[in-house]
């Protein structure tokens, strides 16, 4: 079976609250030609600043800006995090993350203890909460490229006093890949 091409879209990967702008794809300043969509650094910076300001006033731990949606109706998001996120587990999606700015720690591990909340039901099951048992910690900085396979618990923790900004590109697992990862 031929592997599907990598769909790219940005999505948030943890947190308690969000403040979203209307989709930037509706913004006439965004260039869209022949199905290509271009978001300049300024477009992304403006969206992050607006949403982060709102989130901080609401005492949230992160902000995100929706840039549009994929053909699978998943949002494209860029995230700015000022406080630690919750532990997350995604069943259907591998996360490919690119750190845009700031520094922090990424915790990962296979087993989560404590209370978890189902944030998405079938067929996209996702969980948030708990603590990663025997977590591995990796330092993060601008330009780091991270691949988090489906079902791997993960948590982003920005350095104190810093804003960790990143994109997460979701790659949907095929049914065959999901079955292999459960073995």
What would the mean pLDDT of 111-128 be, rounded to a whole number? 85
Please tell me whether residue 57 adopts helix, strand or coil conformation. Answer: helix
Does the pTM exceed 0.85? no
pLDDT at 74: 63
The CA distance from 183 to 151, in Å, is 12
Q: Tell me the CATH number at 151.
A: 2.60.120.10
DSSP category for residue 39: -
Question: Is there a domain that residue 15 lies in?
Answer: no
Dist CA 86 CA 14 (whole Å): 6
pLDDT in tens, 130-167: 999 999 999 999 999 999 999 999 999 999 999 999 98
Asked if 92 and 123 count as a contact pair (C-beta separation under 8 A), the reply is: yes
Average pLDDT, the chain: 76
The reply to whether 13 falls in a domain is no
1 pLDDT tier (thresholds 50, 70, 90): very low
Q: Residue 76: pLDDT above 60?
A: yes
In a domain, 18, yes or no: no
- Identify whether the C-beta of residue 153 lies closer than 8 Å to the C-beta of residue 132: yes
pLDDT at 5 over 60: no
Contact status, residue 98 vs residue 144, Cβ threshold 8 Å: yes
Selected residue with higher pLDDT from 125 and 88: 88
- The pLDDT assigned to 24 comes to 41
Determine the pLDDT at residue 144. Answer: 98
pLDDT of residue 98: 92
Residue range(s) defining the domain that contains residue 113: 24-182
Is 123 part of a structural domain of the chain?
yes
**Residue 144 vs residue 2, higher pLDDT:** 144
pLDDT at position 102: 96
Asked if residues 68 and 36 have their Cβ atoms less than 8 Å apart, the reply is no
Look at residue 31 in the predicted model and tell me its pLDDT. 55
**Predicted pLDDT of residue 34:** 62
What is the model's pLDDT at position 84?
Answer: 93
More confident residue, 29 or 85: 85
Neighbours of 15 (CB within 10 A): 21
pLDDT digits (tens, 9 = 90+) for 22-74: 344 444 455 555 677 788 888 888 877 887 778 777 877 777 777 766 776 56
Domain annotation covers residue 131 = yes
Q: Total structural domains in the chain? A: 1
Give domain status of residue 43, yes or no. Answer: yes
């Amino acid at each position: 079976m031929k592997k599907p091409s990598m769909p790219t879209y940005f999505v948030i990967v943890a947190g308690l609250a969000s403040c979203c702008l209307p989709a930037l794809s509706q913004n006439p300043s965004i260039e869209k030609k022949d199905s290509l969509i271009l978001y300049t650094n300024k477009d992304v910076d403006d969206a992050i600043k607006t949403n982060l300001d709102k989130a901080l006033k609401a005492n949230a731990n992160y902000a995100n800006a929706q840039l549009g949606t994929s053909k699978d109706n998943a949002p494209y998001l860029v995230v700015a995090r000022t406080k630690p996120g919750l532990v997350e587990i995604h069943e259907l999606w591998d996360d490919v993350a690119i750190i845009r700015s700031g520094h922090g720690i990424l915790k990962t591990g296979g087993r989560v203890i404590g209370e978890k909340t189902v944030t998405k039901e079938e067929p996209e099951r996702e969980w948030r909460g708990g603590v990663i048992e025997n977590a591995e910690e990796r330092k993060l900085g601008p330009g780091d490229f991270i691949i988090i396979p489906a079902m791997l618990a993960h948590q982003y923790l920005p350095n104190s006093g810093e804003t960790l900004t990143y994109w997460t590109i979701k790659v949907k697992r095929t049914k065959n890949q999901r079955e292999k990862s459960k073995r």
